[in-house]
Amino acid sequence: MFQNNVFQPGAILHEVIAGALRSKGTTFQNWCKINGLSITAARNVTFGQSAGPRSQAVLERMINDAGREVVATAYRMRMEEATKLARVA
């Protein structure tokens, strides 16, 4: 179980991190390569399929490298939008 209570693992978190990395001039794939992770392993972390202590450390590093405040702001906005859409449906 993820100890991070700010970000819920899943598609939104993955997309926000990937977008924040792009805004810094890199890609999710390049971040994985630089950090010695397979893309699949890193995706498993952002989607919550890997949630042990090592995965938590990877997620924290990924969020920090992407820019914690950018990720937090974009994540909050995406979650608010998803909540609004869920109410309409």
Task: Please write the tens of the pLDDT for every residue from 50-59.
Answer: 989 999 999 9
The residue written with tokens 């950018």 in the block is 70
Is residue 62 pLDDT above 80, yes or no? yes
What pLDDT, on the 0 to 100 scale, is given for residue 4? 53
Quote the pTM value: 0.88
What pLDDT, on the 0 to 100 scale, is given for residue 85? 84
CB atoms within 10 A of CB 80: 10
What pLDDT, on the 0 to 100 scale, is given for residue 23? 96
pLDDT tens-digit series, residues 15-49: 999 999 999 999 999 999 999 999 999 999 999 99
Is residue 5 pLDDT above 90, yes or no? no
Contact residues for 43 (Cβ-Cβ < 8 A; gap 6+): 14, 49
Residue/partner pairs of 21-27 with CB below 8 Å, 24 or more apart: 21/65, 21/66, 23/67, 23/70, 24/65, 24/66, 24/67
> What confidence tier does 89 reach under pLDDT thresholds 50, 70, 90?
low
